[in-house]
Chain A
Amino acid sequence: MLAYIVRRFLYAIPILIGVNVLTFALFFMVNTPDQMARVQLGDKHITQQDINNWKAQRGYDKPLFVNSQKDGLEVVTQTIFFDKSVKLLAFDFGKSDEGRSIGGDIQERMWPSLAVQVPTFIIGIAVNIFFALVIVMFRASLFEFSALTFCVMLLSISSVFYILGGQFFFAKMWNLVPISGYLGGADAIRFLILPIIIGVLAGIGAGTRMYRTIFIEEAGKDYIRTARAKGVSELNLLFKHLLPNGMIPVLTGVVVVIPQLFMGSLLMESFFGIPGLGSYTLDAIQAQDFAVVRAMVFLGSVLYIIGLLLTDISYTLVDPRVKLS
């Protein structure tokens, strides 16, 4: 088991290097720091001197890969590639183009993101599983048909509309909660309720359909038929037999997204003014702050790889038949 985990970690290294090289190519080779400076400075009449100053301030004035002016190890370390990309591997995110420490910002902004994402995630799964079970209970009936059609309708609505609609009705028309904003401590609940409700609602269509497919497949298996033949009541069958076994594919399927809850939701946080990592990323995209975008890309891929690893481990935990080797 331990050997397997170590091997999976080693396997993650080439992937992280790949991500790093890809983002480096995107951010520095396709468009050069000169062009970046020109866009950032924005003015039509900028001199080469302005561009050089901008680059020097942010450390973009070094050569890309090989610095021939230095000796020894500094030939490779005093380059943009080492400074901006290799250091990411050690989780040294450096400074944003505005001069703030990205690492510090991430630690600070992680908590509001989690405060929205974790409840949305847990309540969402519970609600989706509940609906999926109800649909499976009444399968091959008019109820199933209409519930499934309703699910398709729900998942055909863009998430932007859920947010706009929620803000409009709950906050503006009925004045139940503030439209947007955030406060620390216990006051946060007032601001978090609406994003969480909307997050759950927006996920119902897709989630219920997916879990229904899993449960239906499970319901066709032999042990269910045996249990029914023994005279187990339909409700017992559903909650005591079907649910625990169906949870295996459900849980292993959602484990991969758990680490990514840190990243927050771009849309939700920007609409509701929650100072989490999602709105941080969005602000960086809109201000064209490439240093922050690069850091978030790297963080996101690390979290995804951790998610994949957790998925593998969770298989062994919930299903003793699976052995990792």
Chain B
Amino acid sequence: MILPVLLWSDLLIYTLIASVGLFLWQLRKNPQAKKRWSGVFSSKVGMASFIVILFYILISLLDSLHFRESLPRLENSSHQEVAYSSDVKSVLDKVLIRLNSRNESTYSAPFSLHSFAKENMTDANGSVYRDYPRLKNGGSHLNDADERAWDVLWRSLLAIIAGMIIAAIPIGLHRYYLARKKEKGLASNNSIPWHVAYICVTLISIIACWMLSLSEFYHILGTDKVGEDVLYQSIKAIRTGVLIGTLATLVTLPLAIILGISAGYFKGWVDDVVQYIYTTLSSIPGILLIAASVLLIDVYIETHSEQFNLTTLRSDFKFLALCGILGLTSWTGLCRMLRAETLKVSQLDYVQAAHAFGVSHRRVIGKHILPNVTHLILIAIVLDFSMFVLAEAVLSYIGVGVDPDMYSWGNMINAARSELSRDPVVWWSVSAAFILMFTLVLAANLFSDEVRNAFDPNTAKGDA
């Protein structure tokens, strides 16, 4: 028995995905937008980075389906009610159950068989000595430490083959779909480099298979201070990173679009007010404004602790508040650009003509202004996304980021400060956070470059 738990952030991310899907469905009919987007995807870099981002989003969506499991009923209890665990889990936890349930007692290096710290142990004769104890789960199936290299190699080989086979299924289906489309005589766009997509999918599938299958027997990224698997932590942190990027961006958009366009379109006092608001906001050092607001949220949570009976609810509330604050403090850049562009566009002849025909403001903005500034919005969305993912790490380090109970790359990096000064150095936790974060941000940055190339009228190629 499970009890589904709907966190606000889950609801928001699924609504967001649904509306993006709807938006893209609508765009199908718009030939110009279609051409631009196929421009993005006909570049190899654009295609590859999109697939990587998609993979991250998929993981965070899996991690956004939460539930509470029922506790085993007590023998002598007469209650008919089912008691639920206060531990909120997600579908991803179920997939990674083998990672989650095999904790050690403290640090251990990747693929290590022994703990990082020495412990008192008793040998067969009953005398006490100090040595590195064997891990409870890491490589516990091996009798001899020398077998490890062959074991890892053999399992990796199997995992790679499995990964290839799994990747072959979607690729095969897609090829079949393309072939059917061709048969029906539908002209397909040949410029899209599907082979890049196939290579990416295969690589991701191989890496995922390798990690999943090896992590059943080893801690492939080691364990942290309390013995939790680092791979598990860094995968769980994907949701935090992706959500903070998307939700904070979502907050900036309405503010920037509505205020920016109305300032540029209506001019006069509206323009003065909007300019005043964004100059004031941007004159406050961003990080201080964020820190101050987060401190206030902390105070609010502390004084209203009765509203947050589950730790997950509390950290989710704080997380959403953080997204809101990040969004509220960073819309000014896009707003300024939109205002300037709207000023320019609203001087164009056809906008003037629309005015002369007596077209309503709403229609002019919707039909003439908005489509002409879409490229600015699109570019800002992708750039903001990567900015927020990076910001989360810095904020968590400063102590005004996500809740310390939440898995996040920032919290992992934060712990690395003391880990790097240990001897021998505990490098695996921070490296794992680095690699996962770097991949996501790099993909987003590369994708934003492609979007800019395709949509920005100053750089767009072959656009008559």
Residues of A within 8 A of B (CB): 14-15, 18-19, 22-23, 26-27, 30-31, 35-36, 38-39, 152-153, 155-161, 164, 167-168, 172, 179, 260, 263, 266-267, 270, 281-282, 285-286, 288, 290, 293, 296-297, 300-301, 304-305, 308
Q: Is the CB of A160 within 8 A of B288?
A: no
Give the docked Cα–Cα distance between A57 and B438 (Å): 48
Q: Is the CB of A23 within 8 A of B292?
A: yes
Give the docked Cα–Cα distance between A23 and B281 (Å): 11
Q: Is the CB of A297 within 8 A of B279?
A: no
Q: Among the listed B293, B299, B425, B445, which residue makes an inter-chain contact with A39, where contact means beta carbons less than 8 Å apart?
A: B299
Which residues of B sit under 8 angstroms from A23, Cβ to Cβ?
284, 292
Which residues of B sit under 8 angstroms from A304, Cβ to Cβ?
282-285
Which residues of B sit under 8 angstroms from A35, Cβ to Cβ?
299, 303
Is the C-beta of B393 less than 8 angstroms from some C-beta in chain A?
A: yes
Give the docked Cα–Cα distance between A159 and B410 (Å): 12
B412 to chain A, nearest CB (A): 11
Interface mask (B368-404 → A, CB under 8 Å = 1, otherwise 0): 0000000000000000001000100110011110000
Q: Among the listed B399, B413, B441, which residue makes an inter-chain contact with A160, where contact means beta carbons less than 8 Å apart?
A: B413
Can you spell out 6 A-B residue pairs with CB atoms less than 8 angstroms apart? A158-B413, A160-B394, A160-B397, A301-B283, A304-B283, A304-B284
Closest chain B residue to A151, Cβ basis = B445
Give the docked Cα–Cα distance between A297 and B420 (Å): 33
Q: Among the listed B281, B295, B393, which residue makes an inter-chain contact with A285, where contact means beta carbons less than 8 Å apart?
A: B295
Q: Is the CB of B445 within 8 A of A164?
A: no
With A18-B276, A22-B280, A305-B283: A157-B438 Cβ-Cβ less than 8 Å: yes
Q: Is the CB of B288 within 8 A of A281?
A: yes
Closest chain A residue to B391, Cβ basis = A158
Q: Is the CB of B295 within 8 A of A267?
A: no
Q: Is the CB of B413 within 8 A of A297?
A: no
Q: Among the listed B285, B289, B295, which residue makes an inter-chain contact with A263, where contact means beta carbons less than 8 Å apart?
A: B285
B245 to chain A, nearest CB (A): 13
Closest chain B residue to A267, Cβ basis = B394
Which residues of B sit under 8 angstroms from A179, Cβ to Cβ?
421
Give the docked Cα–Cα distance between A124 and B355 (Å): 49
Q: Is the CB of B285 within 8 A of A19?
A: no
Q: Is the CB of B437 within 8 A of A158?
A: yes
Is the C-beta of B183 less than 8 angstroms from some C-beta in chain A?
A: no
Q: Among the listed B300, B397, B425, B442, which residue makes an inter-chain contact with A267, where contact means beta carbons less than 8 Å apart?
A: B397
B279 to chain A, nearest CB (A): 6
Q: Is the CB of B394 within 8 A of A297?
A: no
Is the C-beta of B296 less than 8 angstroms from some C-beta in chain A?
A: yes
Given contacts A26-B293, A30-B296, A156-B441, 13 further A-B contacts (CB under 8 A): A14-B276, A23-B284, A35-B299, A158-B441, A160-B393, A161-B413, A172-B421, A282-B398, A288-B295, A297-B284, A297-B289, A300-B285, A304-B283
Q: Is the CB of A156 within 8 A of B442?
A: yes
B378 to chain A, nearest CB (A): 18
Q: Among the listed A19, A31, A36, A164, which residue makes an inter-chain contact with B413, where contact means beta carbons less than 8 Å apart?
A: A164
Interface mask (B36-72 → A, CB under 8 Å = 1, otherwise 0): 0000000000000000000000000000000000000
Give the docked Cα–Cα distance between A39 and B305 (Å): 13
Closest 6 CB pairs of A and B: A300-B285, A18-B280, A301-B283, A156-B442, A156-B441, A304-B283
Is the C-beta of B416 less than 8 angstroms from some C-beta in chain A?
A: yes
Q: Is the CB of B276 within 8 A of A39?
A: no
Give the docked Cα–Cα distance between A158 and B390 (Å): 6
